[in-house]
Structure 1
Amino acid sequence: MPLILTNRQITTILHTLSSAELTRFTAALTAAFVALSTQPASVQQPLRTSLTTANGGTSLCMPAAFDGVTAIKTVALGPGHPPRGTLTLYSSATGELEAMLNAEEITGFRTALASLLLLQRRHATPGLEVRRVAVFGTGKQAEWAVRLLLKMFPGVGVTVVGRGTSGEVLQKLPAALGFECCVIGRAEDGSEEELEVLLAEVDAVFCCTPSCEPLFPMQWLRIEERPVYVSLIGSYKAHMVEVAPELLKATGVTVVVDSAKACLSEAGEVIQAGLDASQLVEIGAIFNTGAAAVVEGSCIFKCVGLGVMDLATGREITRIARDRGVGVNVDNFDG
């Protein structure tokens, strides 16, 4: 019978994942990425449908079918309001509804986790260890990047970069996170100089904002001196960019994407850099080459978000919820 899960129930599940449960999520996302790159016929996933409402809001619909499951996620972004949405899972064989999930936490969680898959492999490679990370943003995407960084990389130093004063930035982050970080308020005196020093020292940068202009000068990363990992997960439209498009064309930089087709249609940095499919490497293709495959040198991971990511994540959440006895089972839903 269908299982209904609220935002609070899903949040509790994701905040209390065991190491074994988190490993199941990473395995599910990896399998979905590999299938998308190596067996594209096994994944039915049209590009997302977007519409603009009369009040300037945006509504998105992201369908996908893979491994016996059909998933449809809908998201509504009203002006001045946080994103809200639902994820429904169906049996591809019978069409029966299997689960309906609140999607508020799912998007941030699955995107952040996807962006950490490559970094996890780099961390296990001598010379590419992750010791310090900068996270731009104070919203849900940034929150999940911080949560998962601290869970998957014990001892890593995290610096959150946000607009306003340090106090204002700290107010936007859940106090329950329980991590220590040096927050840089970009409106404070000397903050740009402090940010430049920070970016010259970090091993990875996570950009989690819907920005329409670069968040920092690309020279501050000093990629000609050392390998840096940059994750771009906040921008999702052609006019949005979190870094200078020129960074994607810099010597020695490998651009990895969740989907070449999707990024060539939706990723502002990729589009404005004038890249084509031959200059992009899908993450699934990397994982398909072996468990030890890693991108050496500087790497940019661009993720616009895919329906199959929601499918894989939603299915694992549903399995864990059933194991824990969480949620409401609806009897005779089709009756």
Structure 2
Amino acid sequence: MIVLKDAEVRQILENLTLDDIKEYQNTLSRGLIEYYQDNSIIPSRIVTTTKYATHLFMGSSGSQVGMKALTGSHSGFRGLTTILDKHDGSPIGILNAATLTAFRTALSTILALVKVFVPGDQKSFIGGNLIVYGSGPQAEWHLRLALTLYPGFFDKVVIINRTTKNADALVTILKAKFSGVLFEIVSMDDEIHITEAYKNTSVIFSCVPTSSPVVLKRNIDQDRRSRIFIGAIGSYKPEMIEIDGETLINQCISKGGKIIVDSINDCLREAGEFQQNNISKDSLIEFGSLLIHPTPKKALDQLNYMKSQRVIICKLVGLCVMDIFVGSKVLTEAKRKGLGTTIDNF
């Protein structure tokens, strides 16, 4: 069995090439397809809240088996992912969940993004500004993957955050790898500069657990770009909401599109975007259906919408199958690179 510290997980992931990212996307796709074909491989997650934190316990029993325990507190999200032998349950590896969680979530959003804007395609209409709400690990990995897949395509990366201190720290980290990228930090309450940034934005990532929506239709209406991708991953409770109902309904659903989700059942149960706006399962489409072959009719309609319409929205709450499939690949890379602590006869 191999145990990987967070620094070792990060060492494996932070210098991925374009081809490496594609390999991880292929791995993730297999997990999402398995879940789409059989939702029962993921039992309902257990969520408990104490006066200190919220604890989440999740499992996955597809072709790759494992469990994840994650705690969200004022210190952020911490926990572990355990990979098990699918035949007898023997532990194969334990990974610190911090970077792995942020990476697999960003990888999922980016997997939707590349369906809209094909990397390397000069006619894909991606460009202008890239906006991200938040400055934590989720924001970092969304930006890392996007800037790697679309080098030189964005005029500017706009980081919108409550505090500039944390945003400054994120820029310092990213500048070490993306020295040629122009970064701008905007306060969450600076409506003038936010509105200005939206006027030329093709990609918006929301990575904040907020109870008030930050992606607003009035800003989308100001955007001059012909194609806009919105990926939201920060809200995970019914009282949380990142995208306002007008954007969801008027900019996407009413125009024939559906909101891309990782799990229809989990999103309807956990995402404030859908509960607070009375959005039903008929307006959602599971990610795995867009990846499987042959492609179902409903998914073909959505793929056509994504190629022709202006606003495409992806909302994720996270699935354990993502952690297990991506974590298994990270373990394989760790073995190849000689990283981690090996425990024999565990």
Q: Deviations over 1:200-243 (max 9, x none)?
A: 31011000000110114312112897331110111111110011
Counterpart in the other structure of 2:29: 30
Map 1:1-335 to 2 at 5 A.
2-37=1-36, 39-40=37-38, 44-53=41-50, 55-67=51-63, 69-78=64-73, 80-124=74-118, 128-131=124-127, 132-157=129-154, 158-165=157-164, 168-173=165-170, 175-178=172-175, 179=178, 180-186=181-187, 191-222=190-221, 226-250=226-250, 251-252=254-255, 253-288=257-292, 293=303, 295-296=306-307, 297=309, 298-333=311-346
Q: Structure 1 223/299 Cα, relative in aligned 2: closer, same or farther at 3 Å?
A: farther
Question: Residue type of the partner of 1:277?
Answer: K
Identity among equivalent positions (%) equals 28
Q: What secondary structure is seen at the aligned counterpart in 2 of 1:209?
A: coil
RMSD: 2.2
Q: Deviations over 1:93-113 (max 9, x none)?
A: 111110011001011100011
Question: Residue type of the partner of 1:73?
Answer: K
Q: Deviations over 1:287-322 (max 9, x none)?
A: 225799562321110000001001111011001111
Question: Residue type of the partner of 1:325?
Answer: G
CA distance, structure 2, for counterparts of residue 18 and residue 217 of structure 1: 34
Residue 175 of structure 1: how far off its partner (Å): 1.8
Residue 133 of structure 1: how far off its partner (Å): 1.3
Higher mean displacement: 305-314 or 245-254: 245-254
Question: Residue type of the partner of 2:227?
Answer: P
Gaps of 5+ in 1: none
Residue 22 of structure 1: how far off its partner (Å): 2.0
Aligned residues: 323
Higher mean displacement: 44-53 or 204-213: 44-53
CA distance, structure 2, for counterparts of residue 208 and residue 224 of structure 1: 20
Q: What secondary structure is seen at the aligned counterpart in 1 of 2:25?
A: helix
CA distance, structure 2, for counterparts of residue 135 and residue 290 of structure 1: 34
Gaps of 5+ in 2: none
Q: TM-score, normalised by structure 2?
A: 0.87
Q: TM-score, normalised by structure 1?
A: 0.90
Q: What secondary structure is seen at the aligned counterpart in 2 of 1:183?
A: strand
Q: Deviations over 1:260-305 (max 9, x none)?
A: 1110111110121211111111111112257995623211100000
